[in-house]
Amino acid sequence: MSHHLGIHDLSFATTEFVLPHTALADHNGTDIGKYHTGIGQESMSIPAADEDIVTMAATAAAPLIARHGSDRIRTVVFATESSIDQAKAAGVYVHSLLQLPSATRVVELKQACYGATAALQFALGLIRRDPTQHVLVIASDVSKYDADSPGEATQGAAAVAMLVTANPALLTIHDPSGLYTADVMDFWRPNYRDTALVDGQESINAYLQAVEGTWKDYTEQGGHTLDDFTAFCYHQPFTKMAYKAHRHLLNYNDRDTDHHTITQAIGPTTTYNNVIGNSYTASVYLGLAALLDHTPDLTNQPIGLFSYGSGSVAEFFAATPTPDYHNHLHTTTNQHTITRRTTIDYPTYLQLHENTLPTDGTHHTTPTQTTGPYRLAGINNHKRIYETR
Ligand code: HMG
């Protein structure tokens, strides 16, 4: 018997704090139009001193465990590019915080912002082999650039957790995928750095090349035609990038690229990213959540998803919401996740930005700032200590 495979449930978390772009503009003298219109960002999520990729990931995944239990989860795949350890998978901490069964495999995946899509595809492969199993896919990242660099306005942080199953309640994921890899130095973070290095214009060009490359492969692999898609959901380092990407795809297909057509196809995908900022691996799936939450009806209508990770690897694939997907949305909770953040001023943001954990093994207790269910209590003897409330 063949099964539909896909995303059964999706939940996300972001940080305790938020910095409006007006505060950044006031600090650096930038015309706010550049942020609001030029890059399409209103604000960005800033982690508290006691938040990290693990606390966000556990917060995102906890509702999935509460709703569906953990009995059928035998694999947890954690995608991140803001890894906290070179050896231990961040997902092992999450496994512990969520008290998942010991009979579980847990692994971390990395390829810049693309990692979560690899995780999703690998999860589908596991479910295809045994449709009774569930796979927990988590994407969690903190996007951090140097203060006063051009990338600073495109920071953010969030985690998305997805339960991948057979006969999913939310979305079916389809074959084929369009794939594209090119060895480019558009954005990278050597092991000795906390903040990413980036060639801004090169990264935008590399992203657009990848849109073209994945689409070409997608059509050659026998995918849908452009007109089959009702909406397109792009990786959003800043929301204006989705507009550039869709215009590029339409141009490539000799189509009209008027603003109205583009806004109709991608506008609803930008509403969460616009106020959260870049969340790297989580970004395209936050776009998907926003699309499902803010479009009247997408039943059985293919959505095109484009995932891009600098360096670079990209994938284009289609997903279709199920006839019952409306009954499985958590729109009010999602909106609350965003509105519950506390607005901070520029000096508070800068202090958090420059905050680092000791690297000499000394005992360090983090201030209690987050009001979320999980917190990073400190570090001792090089070991992170987490707390559940
Ligand atoms: P910049 O040089 O500060 O900005 O960097 P700009 O001068 O290019 O201006 C940005 C836009 O604002 C331009 O619009 C301006 O015209 C406009 P565009 O020409 O692009 O349409 N503008 C204004 N609009 C209205 N009123 C005004 C005004 N002034 C200017 N007054 C850049 C911008 C995005 C390059 C920078 O923030 C950066 O380097 N960000 C980080 C890199 C990045 O996000 N790249 C995106 C593609 S790569 C990717 O997606 C992967 C990534 O997520 C990482 C991963 O995979 O792991 C980053």
Residue 58 contacts residue 65 (beta carbons within 8 Å): no
Cα separation, 337 vs 157, whole angstroms: 13
Sign of CA dihedral 383, 388, 349, 143: positive
Whether the CB of 308 sits within 6 Å of ligand 1: yes
Distance 156 CA to ligand 1 centre (A): 15
Residue 41 contacts residue 18 (beta carbons within 8 Å): no
Substitution site in 22, 34, 82 for ligand 1 pocket (most atoms within 8 Å of beta carbon) = 34
Whether the CB of 31 sits within 6 Å of ligand 1: yes
Domain residue spans in the chain?
A: 5-388
Residues of the chain where predicted confidence (pLDDT) is lower than 50: none
**Helix H or strand E encompassing 320:** strand 313-321
Whether the CB of 34 sits within 6 Å of ligand 1: yes
**What is the full DSSP assignment across 345-371?**
-HHHHHHHHH----SSS--EE------
Q: What CA–CA distances, in Å, run from 224 to 43, 209, 212? A: 35, 20, 15
- The verdict on whether 233 is a catalytic residue reads no
Tell the residue nearest (CA) to atom 13 of ligand 1: 38
Tell the residue nearest (CA) to atom 5 of ligand 1: 150
- The verdict on whether 81 is a catalytic residue reads yes
Whether the CB of 284 sits within 6 Å of ligand 1: no
- The verdict on whether 235 is a catalytic residue reads yes
What's the pLDDT at 256? 86
Of 16, 21, 113, 353, the catalytic one is 113
Q: Which residue has the tokens 């000791």?
A: 358
Whether the CB of 116 sits within 6 Å of ligand 1: no
Of 81, 108, 152, 315, the catalytic one is 81
pLDDT tens column, 270-298: 999 999 999 999 999 999 999 999 999 99
What's the pLDDT at 2? 65
What's the pLDDT at 103? 98
Q: Which atom of ligand 1 is nearest to the CA of 38?
A: 12
Of 235, 248, 328, 330, the catalytic one is 235
Residue 106 contacts residue 58 (beta carbons within 8 Å): no
Domain boundaries 5-388, CATH class: alpha beta
Task: Identify the CA nearest to 331 among candidates 292, 277, 303, 275.
Answer: 292
Cα separation, 343 vs 47, whole angstroms: 12
Whether the CB of 269 sits within 6 Å of ligand 1: no
Whether the CB of 278 sits within 6 Å of ligand 1: yes
Whether the CB of 113 sits within 6 Å of ligand 1: yes
What's the pLDDT at 1? 54
Q: Which tokens sit at 209? A: 């090349």
pLDDT tens column, 138-160: 999 999 999 999 999 999 999 99
Substitution site in 144, 155, 189, 198 for ligand 1 pocket (most atoms within 8 Å of beta carbon) = 198
Tell the residue nearest (CA) to atom 12 of ligand 1: 38
Distance 39 CA to ligand 1 centre (A): 6
Paired residues of 308 in beta bridges: 314
Q: pTM here?
A: 0.98
Q: Which atom of ligand 1 is nearest to the CA of 32?
A: 31
**What is the full DSSP assignment across 157-202?**
EEEEEEEEEES-SSEEE-S--EEEE----SEE--TT-SS-EE-HHH
